[in-house]
Homo-oligomer: A and B are copies of this chain.
Amino acid sequence: MKKQFTVAVVGATGLVGKTMLKVLFERRFPLLDLVLFATENGVTETPFGTKEVHELNQANIYRYPCDIALFATSGEVSIKFAQIFSTIGAIVIDNSSAWRLDDNVPLVIPEVNPSAAFMHSGIIANPNCTTVQILTAIAPIYRRFGISRMVVSTYQSVSGAGASALGDLENGTTSVFDVPIKNNVLPKIDVYQSNGYTGEEMKIVNETHKILSPAIKVNATCVRVPVSNCHGATVNFELIKEAGLNEIGECLAESPSVKLSDIPTPYDVTGHDEVYVGRLRRDESNPNTFCIWTVADNLRKGAATNAVQIAELFA
């Protein structure tokens, strides 16, 4: 197996793409070379110095070949270009929702289902930011006690909607959202599905079913809050086997990517790679049911860090 890899970051000038470059640098990913793709040719500052950015097109994909392509683009761009990277033998790790539910595409959280990554046919999908966050926290509990049902409410930051959305948060404008996000809370993320749920809500349902088990009942309400970075989520979960509060705490404390904290907030968690879990308590109203509050940096563990961790599985 190779010891060093040429990594392409596709969408290198967006919020997630930039964070991927930061995370590759911080984690000392074994890079042979770095190739940056975006909509237009140009140059960009990275932790590795000033780098050339190539227009994303078939000719450039062949001209600047890579071993691993980290995609931080829209689903449309991913559908158009991911398979071209496959034809040159690169592994695509895609952050969009385009491939996540494809039977031939593993959907991977390295702490949860690392072995799935090796079943790929060229493309590996990064789960949705909220799914990564919730399942990283919940999986150790699921493995030990089984989970029959989860009720989730999210408190999602504006960086998850991209750089222009952050401008809306700053200025009170509505370039990305229908109503202002500044000083407001928007209980709809992504478009409606036929069942009245939003795309974002169904991602949590469907991706939990694919990564952990289709037997888990999942209900989610996804809400955007006027915070620049880090998603929060409340999770009320019912276990299959009996458990004590201490045992749940142990499960969480033993998980290397989880940090137990009393009241983690976006302010404290931004810039960190772990999923923070707080407010652990028993739901006294229902048997064998517990509640947690989780916070994670959606640009990092929710996107860039998880993608780089998947790449590290091959390094």
A122 CB to nearest B CB, Å = 33
Given contacts A151-B236, A219-B236, A281-B197, contact A185 B227 (CB under 8 A): yes
**In the assembled complex, A254 has its CB within 8 A of some CB on chain B:** no
Given contacts A151-B151, A187-B232, A197-B281, contact A226 B223 (CB under 8 A): no
Question: Are the C-beta atoms of B285 and A221 separated by less than 8 Å?
Answer: no
Question: Are the C-beta atoms of B278 and A180 separated by less than 8 Å?
Answer: no
**In the assembled complex, A184 has its CB within 8 A of some CB on chain B:** yes
Question: Are the C-beta atoms of B265 and A187 separated by less than 8 Å?
Answer: yes
**In the assembled complex, A247 has its CB within 8 A of some CB on chain B:** no
Contacts of A279 on B, CB cut-off 8 Å? Answer: 187-188, 196, 221
Question: Are the C-beta atoms of A282 and B196 separated by less than 8 Å?
Answer: yes
Query: How far, in angstroms, from A291 to B201 measured CA to CA in the complex?
Result: 12
Q: Which residue of B lies closest to A184 (CB)?
A: B267
**In the assembled complex, A228 has its CB within 8 A of some CB on chain B:** yes
Question: Are the C-beta atoms of A195 and B281 separated by less than 8 Å?
Answer: yes
Q: Which residue of B lies closest to A285 (CB)?
A: B217
Question: Are the C-beta atoms of A196 and B281 separated by less than 8 Å?
Answer: yes
Query: How far, in angstroms, from A187 to B228 measured CA to CA in the complex?
Result: 17
Contacts of A285 on B, CB cut-off 8 Å? Answer: 149, 205, 217-219
Query: How far, in angstroms, from A19 to B274 measured CA to CA in the complex?
Result: 43
Question: Are the C-beta atoms of A291 and B185 separated by less than 8 Å?
Answer: no
Give the number of residues in A that approach B within 8 Å (Cβ atoms): 47
A81 CB to nearest B CB, Å = 34
A185 CB to nearest B CB, Å = 5
Question: Are the C-beta atoms of A234 and B185 separated by less than 8 Å?
Answer: no
**In the assembled complex, A283 has its CB within 8 A of some CB on chain B:** yes
**In the assembled complex, A33 has its CB within 8 A of some CB on chain B:** no
Give A228-247 interface residues, CB cut-off 8 Å to B.
Answer: 228, 232, 234, 236
**In the assembled complex, A155 has its CB within 8 A of some CB on chain B:** yes
| CB < 8 Å neighbour of A219 from B179, B223, B283 | B283
Query: How far, in angstroms, from A226 to B265 measured CA to CA in the complex?
Result: 12
| CB < 8 Å neighbour of A184 from B180, B197, B266, B283 | B266
Q: Which residue of B lies closest to A293 (CB)?
A: B187
Per-residue 0/1 for A214-225: is the Cβ within 8 Å of any B Cβ (1 yes, 0 no)? Answer: 000111010101
Query: How far, in angstroms, from A205 to B227 measured CA to CA in the complex?
Result: 28
Known A-B contacts: A187-B265, A221-B236, A226-B226. Give 16 more (CB < 8 A): A149-B286, A155-B185, A155-B225, A183-B228, A183-B266, A185-B227, A185-B266, A186-B263, A188-B279, A196-B281, A197-B281, A217-B286, A218-B285, A219-B285, A219-B291, A221-B279
Please give me the 5 A-B residue pairs with the lowest Cβ-Cβ distance, nearest first.
A217-B285, A196-B281, A153-B153, A184-B267, A153-B234
